[in-house]
Amino acid sequence: MPTQEEISVPHKSIDSADQRKGWVVAAIFMGVGLALSGILWFSIGNKAELASKETTEKEVEANRSSVEMKKEEGIIEVVTITTEKPSSKFTVAGSVEPNQQQMQQISALANGRVESVNVALGDSVKPGMILISIDSPQVAEMHGKLHEAETKLRLARVTLNRVMQAANRVNILKAKAALDEAIATQKRTKQLVSEGLVAKKDLVSAESEFVKATAEYNFQKDITLNREVSEAKADLSTAQTEAEHIKDALKAIDAQLSSKAEEKEHDISTLQLRSPIYGTVIERLVNPGAGVEAGKPLLTVANTSTLWVIASVPEREMSGVHIGSKAKVVLQEKTIAGTVSFIDPRLNEDTRTSRVRIIIDNPNNRIQTGAFAQIEFSKSVKLNDAIYVPSTAVQTVEGKQVVFVQDAEGKFSVRPVETGQDVEGQTPVTSGISAGEKVAANGSFVLKSKLLKDQLGGED
């Protein structure tokens, strides 16, 4: 039988093996715990890194969709979005001018000296009214030539009457006497031949003389008298033509034509200039006693019942102006309707404007030429049901239409929008913004440039 010691030794061995197993298990559990702890810490660290990265990306994205401007970097015009539609009207400045088609310059067509001026600036005149009287030696000389021509005309008429009455018929009378003698000789010879007292040859001779006398008489009657009549008629026609030419020349220079009786009542050297139209004297360039030359303007008369308003229309607005277009002219706080009658085809290269002429009525001559006016034109445009913003507020960034919405003073966020066709410098926006928000207008391009610059810097 084993002893106590023998029995106790194996027991100790068993306890030692168990202890080793416990340590191994503890070590395993400790290793697993450490591994799990490592994994946990790695996972926590990875999540923190991802969260930090995501936060950074969001911050970058936020920076890319916003821009901040300092005052020293430029001035940005900010406008508040409203639901108001853009106006289809525009207003330009202009001035009132006389109707050039209803103006007459009064000038003398002969040299002379002014005797009197019967009107002053602003006076109303009517057709036939004597405006200026001029003493002209040239007119007196033409009157003298006219009297000479008229005298020749009277003499030509007397000559023609005398010829037509056959007052000078010497050759015809001689021819008629010779014819009468030939007729008598022929009758006597026929009688003598029939009685047998003369030979038949004498009858033949008498008949031959009759034929010659008849021919001579007809010649003198038809040729000589007709020639005299023709010459008298030619002289009369020449005298008439000369007199008419001188009269026409006097009429052309507004000289007065008169009869002998009337010549005693006025000086034939006087040239009277008369008004050709109803109107107003708008210019006076001469006074009594002044010498004048042919063709020199002396007065200007204008019919101011209609006036011209000349508007300076910018080039960008010319597409809405046409011949016949209606316009409203504001003068002295009064609105007058007008019609476009002319558009200058030439554009002023300095001001980039075109002259547009509007005709307006001027009852009672209340409107003065030279006055300044405001002209309002209307254009036919079709407006969409959208919010309209200044066209300068819309920019293109990365191929998209955007506006810069003000978030705070000097801070703007980029807002993509959908837009339509521009109307009168306004752009319709169908989505992306709403009324009440503030957007950058003039100067938005500076924001776009700074945004792109910031993006390039962020990528670096």
Among residues of the chain, what percentage have pLDDT more than 90? 23
Q: How far apart are CA 165 and CA 266, in angstroms?
A: 40
**Whether residue 249 is found in the same domain as residue 335:** no
Q: How many domains does the chain have?
A: 3
> What pLDDT does residue 9 have?
44
Scan for tokens 């005149």, then name that residue.
125
- In degrees and rounded to multiples of 5, residue 128 shows phi and psi of 90, -10
Name the one residue in this structure whose structure tokens are 């969709």: 65
Residues 333 and 365 in one domain: yes
CA distance 405 to 437: 7
Q: Tell me which of 85-99, 277-291, 365-379, 446-460 is least confident.
A: 446-460
pLDDT-derived band at 122, boundaries 50, 70, 90: confident
Lowest mean pLDDT of 87-91, 290-294, 392-396, 398-402, name the range: 87-91
The pLDDT tens digits for 298-310 are 999 999 889 999 9
pTM of the complete model: 0.48
Answer yes or no: do 103 and 117 share one domain: yes
CA–CA distance, 167 with 225 (Å, rounded to integer): 10
The CATH number covering residue 305 comes to: 2.40.30.170
Which run of H or of E encompasses 192?
helix 170-195
With a cut of 70, say whether residue 41 has pLDDT above it. no
Q: What is the model's pLDDT at position 63? A: 45
Helix extents (H) in 291-335: none
Within this chain, do residues 448 and 412 fall inside the same structural domain, yes or no? yes
Q: Do residues 214 and 240 share a domain?
A: yes
In CATH, what number is assigned to the domain containing residue 448?
2.40.420.20
pLDDT band at 36 (very low <50, low <70, confident <90, very high): low
Q: Taking 80 as the threshold, does the pLDDT of residue 25 lie above it?
A: no
For 139-155, the pLDDT digits (tens) are: 888 888 888 888 888 88
Position with higher pLDDT, 185 vs 57: 185
Whole-number pLDDT of residue 59: 42
Residue with the larger pLDDT of the pair 338 and 60: 338
One domain, residues 184 and 112? no
Q: Residue 401's domain spans which residues?
A: 66-86+384-459
pLDDT in tens, 349-391: 899 999 999 999 988 888 888 889 999 987 755 666 788 899 9
Give yes or no: residues 248 and 194 share one domain: yes
**Which residue, 380, 405, 440, sits at the end of a domain?**
380
The phi and psi torsions of 292 (rounded to 5 degrees) equal -125, 150
Q: Is residue 160 located within the same domain as residue 117?
A: no
Residues 101 and 156 in one domain: no
Is the residue at 359 inside a domain? yes
Record the tokens describing residue 431, joined without a space. 């989505």
Higher pLDDT, 443 or 264: 443
Element (H, E) at 402: strand 400-408
Give domain status of residue 184, yes or no.
Answer: yes
In a domain, 445, yes or no: yes
- Inter-residue contact 286 to 117 (CB < 8 Å): yes
Q: Is residue 53 part of a domain?
A: no
State the average pLDDT for the chain.
79
- pLDDT above 50: residue 5: no
Is the pLDDT reported for residue 3 higher than 50?
no
Token couple for 159 = 């000559």
249-282 pLDDT, tens digit per residue, is: 887 777 777 655 444 445 677 888 899 999 889 8
Asked whether the beta carbons of 372 and 95 are under 8 A apart, the reply is yes
Asked if the model's pLDDT at residue 294 lies above 80, the reply is: yes
Residue 9 lies in a domain: no
Task: Classify residue 55: in a domain, yes or no.
Answer: no
Question: What is the CATH classification number for the domain harbouring 197?
Answer: 1.10.287
Q: Are residues 77 and 93 in the same domain?
A: no
For residues 311 and 331, the answer to whether their CB atoms sit within 8 Å is no
**Last residue within a domain, chosen from 380, 407, 439:** 380
User: Is 320 found in the same domain as 413?
Assistant: no
- pLDDT at res. 417: 93
220 and 247 share a domain?
yes
The alpha carbon of 355 is separated from its chain's Cα centroid by a whole number of angstroms, namely 6
Task: List the structure tokens of 362.
Answer: 């001027």
| Residues 425, 393: Cα–Cα separation, whole Å | 10
Asked whether residue 153 is domain-assigned, the answer is: yes
Assess whether pLDDT exceeds 60 at residue 238.
yes
Residue 211 located in a structural domain:
yes
